[in-house]
Amino acid sequence: MTTTSRVPVTLVTRAAPGVEVRDLTVVYKTPLGELPALRGVSMIVEPGTITGIVGESGSGKSTLALSLLNAVQPPGRIAGGSVEIDGLGDVLTLGGEELRQARGRHLGYVFQAAQNSLNPLKTVGKQLLDLGRSHGVRDGRALVRDAMSLLERMGLDGARVLDSHQHQLSGGMRQRVGIMLALVLNAHLVILDEPTTALDMITQATILRIVREVHQERGLTTLMVTHDIGVAAEVTDRLAVMYGGRLVEHGPTREVLGAPRHPYTQGLIQAIPRLSGDITQARALPGRPPTLGTLPSAGCVFRERCPRRMDVCETDDPLAVAHGDRSVACHAVELPTPGVRVERATPAARVPSGAEEDHT
């Protein structure tokens, strides 16, 4: 990723953008005061990759996704850090029309509960044309063609869906409309927050295949929030594991799932029931994830549930240690050879902006 100074949104490069999140802190106002939902999160997203953001409910996944769009709403507030996106600069410094144009045209997104986000008074087709117009799309017919083709690939009757109102579509159909709307303006950074939660297993598999295909065809950088490790395993190249507002482990999906290093990642994987073999081997993580009010203000956020807890975990928040293109934030993890203790979870090698890379 190039460290960009601010450039006008219209000059944006169309190649898959890299993203660098640096020291991001987001707080929510609560009766106990402002409490951090994200604390010092740093992460690099390589251009052209699909990164899964996983973790239990409340770990900060959606807050991170919203921050990438500079869309955290009160009672939340971005209290510190930066989100540099190739071609856009630090999105946290964008506002007004610049930010509106960036969203949709350059940053496509499907928020959680996308199935409820359509306007009940307008047909999907009308909303599509409104969206196009508000982003300066001149060729409405081409936009409709592209939308129909995306919908049809997701197993829907495109013409019928565009003619429908929200109440005429099932939850799963609306979810797919949300995905179409995120992709149809040709954004090159796409953020999907739980894109398949309302879908049955077969439809979910179809959608994941299409997300992957469209990602490759269009040269996207994709971030997918999911609480479902199976979904992440199926579709992502890299995995970012969050706990209590911290990024605790990050690396290539196969390596993180095959040889998890952080005790939390190990616990998450052990908790997945297997379809074959001994199902009694699935072991739920003991305890519950913290809420904003129960997060410890010092030491490791995971220590209460950690089987490898040590004295230092009570007092020192572990920094991310990068080793190759993996990083882990845990006092108890011994790396194969001495790692470099760094504040930021930075992969060793960065691919230049827009460079092609085989991540399979």
Ligand X SMILES: Nc1ncnc2c1ncn2[C@@H]1O[C@H](COP(=O)(O)OP(=O)(O)OP(=O)(O)O)[C@@H](O)[C@H]1O
Q: What would the two tokens of residue 294 be?
A: 């129960």
How many other C-beta atoms lie within 10 A of the C-beta of residue 105?
19
Q: Are strands 50-54 and 221-225 parallel, antiparallel or unpaired?
A: parallel
In the complex, the smallest distance separating the C-beta of residue 135 from ligand X, rounded to whole angstroms, is 27
Q: Are strands 189-193 and 221-225 parallel, antiparallel or unpaired?
A: parallel
Binding of residue 61 to ligand X (CB under 6 A): yes
How many other C-beta atoms lie within 10 A of the C-beta of residue 87?
22
Binding of residue 62 to ligand X (CB under 6 A): yes
Q: What would the two tokens of residue 62 be?
A: 């959606």
In the complex, the smallest distance separating the C-beta of residue 57 from ligand X, rounded to whole angstroms, is 3
Choose between 28 and 205: whose C-beta lies nearer to ligand X: 28
Cβ-defined contacts of 157-164 (< 8 Å, 24+): 161/124, 162/123, 162/124, 162/125, 162/128, 163/123, 163/124, 163/125, 164/123, 164/124
Binding part of the chain for ligand X, among 42-50, 60-68, 167-175, 204-212 by CB under 6 A, reads 60-68
Binding of residue 63 to ligand X (CB under 6 A): yes
The site for ligand X, by CB under 6 A, has a size of 16
By CB under 6 A, name the one of 18, 58, 132, 347 that touches ligand X.
Answer: 58
Choose between 75 and 287: whose C-beta lies nearer to ligand X: 75
Task: Pick out residues in 129-188 that bind ligand X (CB under 6 A).
Answer: none
Binding of residue 59 to ligand X (CB under 6 A): yes
How many other C-beta atoms lie within 10 A of the C-beta of residue 309?
17
Binding part of the chain for ligand X, among 53-61, 87-95, 158-166, 329-337 by CB under 6 A, reads 53-61
Choose between 60 and 267: whose C-beta lies nearer to ligand X: 60
258, containing H or E segment: helix 253-258
In the complex, the smallest distance separating the C-beta of residue 27 from ligand X, rounded to whole angstroms, is 9
Separation CA 43–CA 22 (nearest Å) = 7
How many other C-beta atoms lie within 10 A of the C-beta of residue 345?
24
Choose between 227 and 350: whose C-beta lies nearer to ligand X: 227
Task: Pick out residues in 285-324 that bind ligand X (CB under 6 A).
Answer: 291-292
Binding part of the chain for ligand X, among 52-60, 202-210, 233-241, 329-337 by CB under 6 A, reads 52-60
Separation CA 109–CA 218 (nearest Å) = 15
Separation CA 263–CA 259 (nearest Å) = 11
Choose between 37 and 322: whose C-beta lies nearer to ligand X: 37
Separation CA 6–CA 189 (nearest Å) = 17
Binding part of the chain for ligand X, among 50-58, 120-128, 174-182, 324-332 by CB under 6 A, reads 50-58
Choose between 74 and 258: whose C-beta lies nearer to ligand X: 74
By CB under 6 A, name the one of 122, 126, 209, 227 that touches ligand X.
Answer: 227
Binding of residue 37 to ligand X (CB under 6 A): yes
How many other C-beta atoms lie within 10 A of the C-beta of residue 194?
21
Separation CA 41–CA 335 (nearest Å) = 21
Choose between 238 and 246: whose C-beta lies nearer to ligand X: 246
Binding of residue 60 to ligand X (CB under 6 A): yes
The SS3 of residue 352 is coil
Task: Pick out residues in 64-83 that bind ligand X (CB under 6 A).
Answer: 75-76
Choose between 74 and 338: whose C-beta lies nearer to ligand X: 74
Choose between 305 and 323: whose C-beta lies nearer to ligand X: 305
In the complex, the smallest distance separating the C-beta of residue 291 from ligand X, rounded to whole angstroms, is 5
Beta-bridge partners for 21: 43, 83
Q: What would the two tokens of residue 260 be?
A: 């998890």
The runs of H, that is alpha helices, within 55-200 are 61-68, 96-105, 124-134, 140-153, 158-162, 171-183
The residues of the shown chain that bind ligand X, judged by CB under 6 A, are: 28, 30, 37, 55, 57-63, 75-76, 227, 291-292
